[in-house]
Amino acid sequence: MRFGPFSRKRCDRGLSCNKTKTCAPACTAESTLLPAPCEAHSLVGQLVTGFVSDQPLPLASSPLGIHLTVLECRIVPRSTVHLLTPTHLRFCFVIVVADVASSTMCGITALLLASTEQSAAPEINEALSLLQHRGQDAAGIVTCGSKGRFYQCKANGMVRDVFDVNAISRLQGSMGVGHVRYPTAGSSAHSEAQPFYVNAPYGITFAHNGNLINTDELRRFLDADAHRHINTDSDSEVLLNVFANNLQKTGKFRINEEDIFTAIRDLMKQCKGGYTCAAMIAGFGIIAFRDPNGIRPLGMCSRPSSVADSEYLEGHGMDYLFTSESVVCDALGFEDFQDIKPGEAVIITRHAVSRRILTPPAGSQDGAAFSPDIFEYVYFARPDSVMDGVSVYRSRMAMGDKLADEVRRQLQKTGETIDVVIPVPDTSRVAALQLAQNLGVPYREGFIKNRYVGRTFIMPGQSVRRKNVRRKLNAMALEFNGKNVLIVDDSIVRGTTSKEIIQMARDAGARKVIMASCAPPIRYSNVYGIDMPSRKELVAYERSVEQVAEYIQADMVIYQTLEDLIDSVQQFNPELKQFDCSVFDGKYVTGGVDAAYIAHLEHLRSENAKAKKAAGKIPVIAESQKKIYASRASPAASSVAGDEKMANEATAAVLNGNANGNRKRRLTDEEIEEEEEEKQQAAGCSGPMNGADDIGLFNGWTR
């Protein structure tokens, strides 16, 4: 493994980055300014974790346990850090430990263990890593321990970055809630990582997958009428406060299941959009509910407690889990996976499980039609999950079958022929294999995916996305040379992937390249929890199929029809009468989505907003990385992994050389100012960091 050559001569950018803390944001936000192709720096913009210093840093976690000294800028992915040699480390002054990944949804989970002597956090952590494909920007767990106290750990980053053994061991208690995030509202700020928390009434933590379409209206209500303080731009914080406000209205000292159902019933009348939620009330139990249209997925499962006949075992003796996808149920040894129904709420305590549908039936006045998002089956969900009675894997196989028919028709019409079918890994493989078998054409894995690159279709900037495709996929010339190839992808969104891989196929010697998509043309925004780009960025927006082919430089493009896509899923559960197909047909199942709302949403999601988020993201990560270093630097700090203030102090000590007694240097006024700015960016506002580690929650390991 090489980390170079990134010498002073080769890496101008590195040389210019000779100032503490200003380097990471500058490099990241302005990657286009890089003077020449430099592999380390071309990763810039996709990095999620950073640490910068021009002082020696104790790298206690390094197997090498040595200090970094200032000489050169270097950026490495986390997955290769263990390969750094002492020489690399001694001569680097910027180490950015990161993974090149992004994703597109959120995943939620909640766990209640029957035995109060068991700890929920390890399995919630496991559940989140199984849901990682749904959100790679932030992760969080809140558990509830004795005396009804909450213990929290959350931050931007992948699950493995946010939680380590120490953090998990400090999350006390036998029930908890977990979340992996990709933002669809608000920003990527640390303060918007979930679960969210409110102390009144009763102490509630809350995780949300989806997107509300009437956030502004609810925000006004919470401010003007309910007088509840919302401290971030996140729609999830709004949703939590609507729930909390509805519970508060009972005015009761102690609530029961009936009160919670009433609060959720009211919430379902007030909140519009797509939402599945997992919540926990201190000392009471866990709760889950799904929006009246059932747009986003959610299920529950159970198992007998492994602790038999314990004095700590109360009530039903069963462990219960809520999860976005059934894969978690299988992997954690749970059974009896059941989907939460649209408009249904489930409350689980150690003594009872209560389920209730809280909305009028579909077809009645005010009834909402069950409309799960069909894009879950096309792309988001893991193939080994079963959602609303449909195996995602089988539905993708069916997409391949249907697409084969369409390809056959198109080939007959045009007289074209194909020699080989090649998938775009990973998601499309299942369908592509099925398609090839149907057509009786060889299936070849012509593109090999770097397994350490995550899902990437949303990236902060088009040039970064483009470069990323090349990094993610490599074409094997042997499989393309002199052949007419049919490349199969699950979907074509911006066309970034297709355009790049078609060029790669041609470079590898393909004679003709035909592109087939398992999904129909995507021409509309998603408003229910998928951060689709604005319409103008969609390659099929205002383009005919022929124009799309011209744009991505394909000889021909073949799309699945919407009818066939729906049939591919519906055939496995005829009870699913309709789907949310809004990205294909522009029909929004909840109503209330007009041109003005779409324009507003697109403005929020514009490339500009993304760039700002990306710029704001690095300091956020730098902060969290500081904590890691701080905790390693001093035993005192290591006992306060959740305490930002102490982490900052400890980090300052590290930066000042106090921690290792090496050198003392006071931060300059400018550096202090920069640090303040970082904190404010991290919070996404100038106030206290609501939901952050040092507000409201009792952390057993604080001073």
Ligand X SMILES: O=P(O)(O)OC[C@H]1O[C@H](OP(=O)(O)OP(=O)(O)O)[C@H](O)[C@@H]1O
* Residue with smallest beta-carbon separation from ligand GLN: 106
Of 333, 244, 231, the closest CA to residue 281 belongs to 244
**Which DSSP state fits 340?**
P
* Pairing mode of beta strands 299-304, 175-181: unpaired
Nearer to ligand X, 479 or 675 (CB): 479
Calpha distance 244→264 (Å, rounded): 10
**Mask 379-398, x = binds ligand X (CB under 6 A)?**
x-------------------
Contact string 70-109 vs ligand GLN (x = CB under 6 A) = -----------------------------------xx---
**Residue 284 or 375 having the CB closest to ligand X:** 375
Pick out residues in 103-162 that bind ligand GLN (CB under 6 A).
Answer: 105-106
Interaction between residue 342 and ligand X (CB under 6 A): no
183, interface contact from ligand GLN, ligand X, none, CB < 5-8 Å by kind: ligand GLN
Candidates 57-65, 78-86, 206-214, 418-426: pick the segment binding ligand GLN (CB under 6 A).
206-214
Closest among 657, 656, 633, 665 to 646, alpha carbons compared: 633
| CA–CA separation, 491 and 66 (whole Å) | 47
Among residues 23, 106, 277, 518, which one is catalytic?
A: 106
Angle at 271 between CA 268 and CA 277, to 5 degrees: 70
Q: Distance between CA 4 and CA 6 in Å, rounded?
A: 4
Query: By rule CB under 6 A, what string of x and - marks binding of each residue 300-339 to ligand GLN?
Result: ----------------------------------------
- The verdict on 371 binding ligand GLN (CB under 6 A) reads no
Position 211 contacts ligand X (CB under 6 A): no
Report if residue 234 touches ligand GLN, rule: CB under 6 A: yes
The entry of ligand GLN, ligand X, none that residue 424 binds, CB within 5 to 8 Å by partner kind: ligand X
The 3 state secondary structure assigned to 413-430 is: HHCCCCCEEEECCCCCHH
Per-residue three-class SS string for 536-581:
HHCCCCCCCHHHHHHHHCCCEEEECCHHHHHHHHHCCCCCCCCCEC
Strands 386-387 and 318-323: unpaired
Residues numbered 586-625 forming contacts with ligand X, rule: CB under 6 A: none
Nearer to ligand GLN, 181 or 506 (CB): 181
Per-residue x/- track, 399-428, ligand X (CB under 6 A): -------------------------xxxx-
Q: Given the complex with ligand GLN, which of 28 and 188 has the nearer CB atom?
A: 188
Is 106 known to be catalytic? yes
Kindly provide the b/e burial profile for residues 253-284, where b requires at least 16 CB atoms within 10 angstroms of the residue's own CB. Answer: eebebeebbbbbbbbbebbbbbbbbbbbbbbb
Q: Calculate helix-pair angle for 257-270, 235-248, nearest 10 degrees.
A: 130
Between residue 426 and residue 455, which ones bind ligand X under the rule CB under 6 A? 426-427, 455
- Tell me the closest approach of the beta carbon of residue 325 to ligand GLN, in angstroms: 13
Phi, psi of 57, deg, nearest 5: -120, 130
Site mask, ligand X, residues 352-371, x = CB under 6 A? --------------------
Part in contact with ligand GLN (CB under 6 A); list of ranges 177-185, 259-267, 419-427, 536-544? 177-185
Does residue 515 touch ligand X according to CB under 6 A? no
Please say whether the dihedral angle defined by the alpha carbons of residues 85, 90, 91 and 92, taken in this order, is positive or negative: positive
Q: Are strands 344-348 and 285-290 parallel, antiparallel or unpaired?
A: antiparallel
**Touching ligand X, residues 469-498 (CB under 6 A):** 489-498
Rounded Cα distance between 235 and 218, Å, is: 9
Q: Does 684 bind ligand X (CB under 6 A)?
A: no
Residue 560 within binding range of ligand X, rule CB under 6 A = no
In order of 43, 449, 484, 498, the CA distances from 425 in angstroms are 21, 6, 19, 12
Q: Looking at 54, 126, 235, 500, which residue binds ligand GLN (CB under 6 A)?
A: 235
**C-alpha neighbours within 13 Å on the C-beta side of residue 191:** 26
Q: Which residue has the tokens 């129909």?
A: 520
Size of the site for ligand GLN (CB under 6 A): 17
**Residues noted as catalytic:** 106
**Residue numbers at the binding site for ligand GLN (CB under 6 A):** 105-106, 181-186, 192, 208-211, 234-236, 529
